[in-house]
A and B are shown apart, each in its own frame.
Chain A
């Protein structure tokens, strides 16, 4: 069965601190996709990144970076120099050959000025 675990329920940081959100997944499929979504207080789901199971290359986009490690089934997300606007709930999600997304329980990030 597929499962996504986000052990950190809530994280609080002060602006400009770096923060890493953890994501651990379980799947028996060899082909799968991993995602990160941001959900601000307004409620919409904002797509951040997709990574397929064959691409373990880390990615950096501005202040965001992602570390995908198949050996530990982890897909962690780091925000560098956090800002108040980064405050949101962040979801890690998994999709296999059935296409539907399986979400983790989310991590609420609060960035204080």
Chain B
């Protein structure tokens, strides 16, 4: 079965650079969630989209923005990168109306800011 695809899997950037993370949800899923997991920490919710509209927002820095496109894939744009942005970024997708809206996680993108 198709799973959530995240690209790239690994990304290395310098401070103050910009990064774009991409998420391709499971086909027919209409909701995407982004989570950030710092080293040794638990995943923290950043933002979610349902049918291309932002549905919820967590502790996402103003330097970050995200959107969901017409084909339901989502992109997380991160500007003015800081060392503290180094983390594992997970995307999850779900289909509203199914059993609980269970979230299926992608493999994550590991971002390293030097």
A residues with a Cβ closer than 8 A to B are 33, 43-45, 47, 50, 52, 91, 98-106
Q: Which residues of A contact B88 (CB under 8 A)?
A: 43
User: What number of A-B contacts does a CB cutoff of 8 Å give?
Assistant: 48
Query: Is B42's beta carbon under 8 Å from chain A?
Result: yes
B3 → A minimal CB distance (Å): 10
Query: Is B90's beta carbon under 8 Å from chain A?
Result: yes
Best-buried of A44, A50, A101 by chain B (most CB within 10 Å): A101
Asked if B58 and A45 sit within 8 Å, CB to CB, the answer is no
Asked if A101 and B110 sit within 8 Å, CB to CB, the answer is no
Query: Is B33's beta carbon under 8 Å from chain A?
Result: yes
Asked if A50 and B41 sit within 8 Å, CB to CB, the answer is no
Number of chain B interface residues as a range: 20 to 34
Asked if B45 and A100 sit within 8 Å, CB to CB, the answer is yes
Asked if B108 and A43 sit within 8 Å, CB to CB, the answer is yes
B residues with a Cβ closer than 8 A to A are 31, 33, 35, 41-45, 48, 55-56, 58, 88, 90, 92, 94, 100-105, 107-108, 110
Q: Which residues of B contact A100 (CB under 8 A)?
A: 33, 45, 48, 56, 58
Asked if B102 and A101 sit within 8 Å, CB to CB, the answer is no
Asked if B42 and A103 sit within 8 Å, CB to CB, the answer is yes
Asked if A98 and B56 sit within 8 Å, CB to CB, the answer is yes
Asked if A45 and B100 sit within 8 Å, CB to CB, the answer is no
Best-buried of B42, B94, B102 by chain A (most CB within 10 Å): B42
Known: A47-B104, A99-B55, A99-B101. 15 other contacts (CB 8 A): A33-B100, A43-B108, A43-B110, A44-B107, A45-B90, A45-B108, A50-B102, A99-B33, A99-B94, A99-B103, A100-B33, A101-B45, A101-B92, A103-B42, A105-B41
